[in-house]
Structures are given as structure tokens and as C-alpha cells.
């Protein structure tokens, strides 16, 4: 995990990778309107049915997907997902036609990334020959860390099988899950709308919907978790003051509502 300045997250600054590349820290409004603010001629037929929010999470997934998420596809190609890293998945999944316009939005410019090989290290990278920019493993890890941070996504490994039998069992369960999903009608439910509603009706700052849509993503998620931590603290302390919870059973450093909200 790369060091990311907490104050700059709260301020809502873009995340600078180098002198030529920075990552947007979007507002909720920018995410909602993403489908209207990119060149739709560049989108696939499937992507044309996506909302702005769905397009946003697709580009986040490009940088945050794990081998675990692609275990079935990898296994079908004779690849052990345990032998791959997140960067390997990024290189395998990236498709210039599908993602180029969304990368322009994410990086706030005009870019032309394509697959290439680093002549010095032999590492597969994305290279923009027009702007002379490389996204190698180091740059990828920085971008991924930032996106996980503002979206409050965990950086921990989902599952590490103890042996080959366990690995095959996990793959078969995942294969069954994917088959069930294919047989169901696609869901277009929003991941953010209920959280926006929660913040609008449960915050004590007086923010309304219009104010919330102007929030940078990190501020939004931090606010949600801060409210939940505060409510949890109040419930625990109410139990303590009424004699229903013993003081020795309370971990005050854990329930402190002024503590960190980020996920591990």
C-alpha cells in the first residue's frame, strides 16, 4: 500500500502519479453523469446500456480486480490464479477500444495507451507513445491503491487455498455461481443510491441531496462510516450507562467515533 496523504483525500485533490499522469478524485455528480460526458461513439454496444455509475465501477474494476475474481476464466485457459498478481489481470483485461475513453476521463486528458513491452525489464506494460507515458507495475499499484482508498475497498486477499484440492473446490463453487448469474436477468441496481439517501436523511450537518452530489468520493464514504461509528458508539455507551454492558467488555479505542474509518 502506497502512502496517500489523508488531508489531500479529504480536500479532494487528484492523485499525482508523475508529472504527466494524475488520477481524478470524482464527485458523486461526475460519476452519475459519466455516461453523458464521454464520447459515446467509443463505447461498446453493452457499455451503451450502462449508467454513469456502472461505467465508473467498470474502470475501477480494471485497476482493482484480483486474480481471485477471474479464477474460472484463468482456469479455463490452464492458468493457476494463485500464480498471478493483480497487475497480471490488469494487463490481460485491458482492451484499448473498450477502456480508452474512460481512461481519458479518469486521467483527465487525452491518452493513447496500448500494450507494449519494457525493453529494459521485459515487463508487459501499457504505453502511450503520443504522450510518452508508461503504466508499469509501480504506476499501476499507485493508481490501484488510490482507487481502493477513495472507494473504501479492502486490499486484503479474498482467499488463499491451502492445497490443490481446496483450490479446485473454490473454482467449482465459483463456476456454479457464475452459471447461476448468467441464468438470471441482469441487475442494474445502483451501489451508491441507498448510501446517498442514508446520508441525506441521517446526517447532522444539514446537507441535502444537492450538497451530497458535490462531495468527492472519499468524503462521501468517510461521512457514511463516521455516522455509523457515531451511532455504534452511542448505542454502546447507552448500554454502559444503563448497566447492561460492563465497562470491562468495552474496547473504547475500537468504538471511538473519532477514529479511522478506512478499511484494511
pLDDT tens across 109-168, in order?
Answer: 999 999 999 888 889 999 999 999 999 999 999 999 999 999 999 877 666 777 888 888
At residue 94, the pLDDT reads 96
Q: In a 3-state reduction of DSSP, which class is residue 17?
A: strand
Residue 20 has pLDDT above 70, yes or no: yes
93 or 264: whose pLDDT is higher?
93
Contact 134, 118 (CB under 8 A): yes
The owner of cell 509501480 is 138
Q: What is the pLDDT of residues 206-221, one digit of tens each?
A: 889 999 999 999 999 9
* Angstrom distance (rounded) from CA 218 to CA 128: 29
Would you say 32 and 52 are in contact if contact means Cβ atoms under 8 Å apart?
yes
Residue-wise pLDDT for 58-106, tens only, equals 999 999 999 989 989 998 998 988 889 999 999 999 999 999 999 999 9
Report the distance separating Cα 98 and Cα 42, nearest Å.
7
pLDDT one-digit tens code per residue, 226-256: 888 888 778 877 787 887 788 777 777 776 7
pLDDT score recorded for residue 186: 62
Residues 261 and 258: their CA atoms lie apart, in Å, by 9
Q: What is the pLDDT of residue 194?
A: 94
The number of residues making up the chain comes to 264
Distant-in-sequence, close-in-space partners of 257: CB < 8 Å, separation ≥ 6: 226, 229, 230, 232, 233
Which cell goes with 245? 454492558
Confidence band of 16 (pLDDT split at 50, 70, 90) = very high
Give the model's pLDDT for residue 263: 62
Amino acid at each position: 500500500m502506497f502512502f496517500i496523504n489523508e488531508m489531500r483525500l479529504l480536500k479532494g485533490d487528484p492523485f499525482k502519479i508523475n508529472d504527466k499522469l494524475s488520477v481524478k478524485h470524482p464527485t458523486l455528480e461526475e460519476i452519475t453523469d459519466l455516461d453523458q460526458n464521454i464520447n459515446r461513439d467509443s463505447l461498446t454496444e453493452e457499455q451503451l446500456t450502462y449508467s454513469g455509475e456502472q461505467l465508473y465501477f467498470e474502470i475501477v474494476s480494471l485497476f482493482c480486480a484480483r486474480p481471485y475474481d477471474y479464477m474460472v476464466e484463468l482456469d479455463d485457459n490452464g492458468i493457476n490464479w494463485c500464480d498471478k498478481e493483480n497487475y497480471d489481470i490488469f494487463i490481460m483485461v485491458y482492451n484499448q477500444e473498450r477502456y480508452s475513453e474512460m481512461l481519458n476521463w479518469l486521467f483527465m486528458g487525452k491518452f493513447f495507451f496500448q500494450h507494449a513491452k519494457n525493453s529494459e525489464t521485459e515487463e508487459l506494460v501499457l504505453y502511450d507513445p503520443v504522450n510518452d507515458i508508461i503504466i508499469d507495475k509501480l504506476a499501476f499499484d499507485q493508481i490501484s491503491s488510490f482507487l481502493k482508498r477513495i472507494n473504501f475497498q479492502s486490499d486484503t486477499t479474498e482467499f488463499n487455498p491451502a492445497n490443490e484440492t481446496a483450490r479446485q473446490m473454490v473454482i467449482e463453487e465459483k463456476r456454479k455461481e457464475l452459471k447461476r448469474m448468467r441464468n438470471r436477468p441482469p441487475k442494474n441496481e445502483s451501489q451508491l443510491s441507498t448510501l446517498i439517501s442514508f446520508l441525506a436523511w441521517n446526517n447532522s450537518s444539514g446537507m441535502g441531496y444537492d450538497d451530497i452530489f458535490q462531495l468527492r468520493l472519499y468524503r462521501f464514504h468517510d461521512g457514511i462510516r463516521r455516522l455509523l461509528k457515531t451511532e455504534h458508539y452511542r448505542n454502546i455507551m447507552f448500554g454502559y450507562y444503563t448497566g447492561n454492558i460492563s465497562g470491562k467488555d468495552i474496547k473504547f479505542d475500537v468504538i471511538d467515533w473519532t477514529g479511522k474509518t478506512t478499511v484494511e
